[in-house]
Amino acid sequence: MPWWQSGMLLELAALSLAADRIDDANEEARAGLELARQLHDYGGRVFGVGVLATVASARGDPERAGRLWGAIEDDDVRAPLGGWPRHRAACEARLAASSSPVLDGALASGRHLSLDDAVALALGDA
């Protein structure tokens, strides 16, 4: 049950983000990512970090957005329900639209983060 709940929350977060309901997307993604972390769900953790990177970008925080996105940008995870592959391009486009030297530098920095470190950063543990 928690795996389904995590996936549902992350899907809702991506849909909230698409509807520009940034605060809802943040809350839903954080809740889904926390469950994915507890379950050691690799795909759910990538999805959650990706959505929270996009939330950070939408909130005007290119440093946070870049570090989070850099950690997962090359990850082509496929989950059974496929939530992340459905939403990834839209998230990536939102980040690209806010491109800046700060974002670019943070992307480079984020590429050195492990997924666990990115999850901790996304949830405010780091």
Residue 57 has pLDDT above 80, yes or no: yes
Dist. CA 29–CA 11, nearest whole Å = 8
Mean pLDDT over residues 86-112, rounded?
A: 91
Which of 32-41, 61-70, 82-91 has the least mean pLDDT? 82-91
Tell me the H-state helices in the chain.
2-18, 22-39, 42-58, 62-72, 83-97, 101-110, 115-122
User: What is the model's pTM?
Assistant: 0.92
Percent of the chain whose pLDDT exceeds 90? 76
71-89 residue pLDDT tens = 999 887 765 556 788 888 8
**In 3-state terms, what secondary structure has residue 73?**
coil
